[in-house]
């Protein structure tokens, strides 16, 4: 059986790439809800409906574990999914805990979608770990649209980031958290905009480390071929279309153009 990866679009490929690196013999089913992307600007009710319908479809295909590789979908629907299905379900959340633990005395900037930053799950996460009140949040929803439309031109991306960050003292930040799975495509762009030495982190490695542990603990590992089957809102896609191209971007250069 395959490991399911779900996202509103192509962002979850940044997590899938890490899984392919750590678990190369597993097979994967990647589902992008391209009919409804982006999630981060929609209502909570809409997102929950889209996620439950998509995972119903994935479960019918036969998956042994699910990674909800979308911070917004995790914050809205993870509890409903765990109540409904018996297979392991892992979610994504902005990497606030590791950022606070390693940051020192500088501030932390969490970038995410508007819906993620508004949700109680995120607010509770910050309250739990940010005892010194060093965490700021910034919504960058256009980065999702840029990634979905294969926009990686450095002039466009860096100008956008500079415009959104115009009111911030960038030298005051020691860590930037990429709290949306679309954002790691632009990690090198963030590095160019922030001062040298600023730590740019996301949750992909930690999530896949936990996935690997769960598979081992439950004896669910298998010797597959590292095959990935892609679906766009329930429609099976050829392996050589855009999803594989996004994997190539991550594997070759982390991001393109920046």
Q: pLDDT averaged over consecutive 10-residue blocks of the chain (258 residues)? A: 96 94 95 94 95 98 97 95 98 95 92 95 96 97 94 93 97 97 93 96 95 96 88 85 78 51
- The residue with tokens 């649209």 is 145
Instruction: Please identify which of the residues 180, 189, 221, 258 carries the catalytic annotation.
Output: 180
Cβ atoms of 59 and 6 within 8 Å: the answer is no
User: Given this model, what pLDDT does residue 253 score?
Assistant: 45
| pTM for the model | 0.91
Distance separating alpha carbons of residues 79 and 56, to the nearest angstrom: 15
Distance separating alpha carbons of residues 148 and 60, to the nearest angstrom: 26
User: Given this model, what pLDDT does residue 239 score?
Assistant: 65
> With b meaning 16 or more CB within 10 Å and e meaning fewer, what string describes 224-238?
eeeebebbbbeeebe
Tokens of 234: 């329930």
2-92+204-253 matches 96-201 in fold: yes
What fold, for 96-201?
Rossmann fold (3.40.50)
Cβ atoms of 242 and 248 within 8 Å: the answer is no
Annotated active-site residue 258? The verdict is no
Cβ atoms of 158 and 166 within 8 Å: the answer is no
Q: Dihedrals φ, ψ of 255, to 5°?
A: -160, 160
129 exposure class (CB count in 10 Å sphere: 0-12, 13-18, 19+):
middle
Tokens of 174: 């020691």
User: Given this model, what pLDDT does residue 18 score?
Assistant: 94
What fold, for 2-92+204-253?
Rossmann fold (3.40.50)
Annotated active-site residue 189? The verdict is no
User: Given this model, what pLDDT does residue 254 score?
Assistant: 53
User: Given this model, what pLDDT does residue 240 score?
Assistant: 59
Domain range annotation of the chain: 2-92+204-253, 96-201
Instruction: Please identify which of the residues 70, 189, 221, 258 carries the catalytic annotation.
Output: 70
CA distances from 127 to 79, 99, 133, 192, 205 (A): 20, 14, 9, 30, 23
Q: What percent of the chain has pLDDT over 90?
A: 86
- The residue with tokens 């970038």 is 111
Cβ atoms of 39 and 231 within 8 Å: the answer is no
Q: Is 155 helix (H, G, I), strand (E, B) or coil?
A: helix
């Amino acid at each position: 059986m395959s490991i399911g990866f779900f996202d509103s679009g192509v962002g979850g490929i940044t997590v899938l790439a890490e899984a392919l690196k750590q678990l190369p013999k597993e097979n994967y089913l990647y589902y992008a809800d391209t009919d409804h992307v982006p999630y981060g600007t929609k209502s909570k009710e809409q997102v929950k409906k889209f996620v439950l319908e998509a995972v119903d479809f994935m479960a019918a295909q036969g998956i042994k574990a699910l990674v909800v590789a979308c911070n917004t979908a995790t914050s809205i629907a993870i509890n409903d999914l765990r109540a409904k299905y018996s297979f392991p379900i892992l979610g994504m959340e902005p990497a606030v805990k590791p950022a606070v633990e390693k940051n020192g005395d500088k501030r932390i900037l969490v970038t995410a979608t508007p819906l993620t930053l508004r949700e109680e799950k995120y607010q509770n996460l910050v309250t739990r770990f940010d005892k010194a009140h060093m965490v700021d949040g910034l919504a960058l929803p256009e980065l999702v649209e840029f990634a979905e439309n294969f926009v990686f031109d450095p002039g466009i991306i860096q100008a956008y980031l500079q415009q959104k960050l115009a009111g911030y003292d960038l030298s005051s930040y020691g860590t930037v958290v990429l709290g949306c799975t679309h954002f790691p495509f632009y990690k090198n762009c963030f590095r160019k905009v922030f001062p040298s030495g600023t730590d740019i982190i996301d949750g992909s490695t930690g999530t896949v480390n936990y996935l690997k542990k769960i598979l081992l603990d439950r004896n669910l590992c298998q010797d597959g071929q590292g095959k990935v089957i892609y679906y766009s809102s329930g429609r099976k896609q050829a392996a050589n279309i855009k999803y594989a191209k996004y994997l190539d971007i991550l594997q070759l250069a982390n991001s393109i153009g920046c």
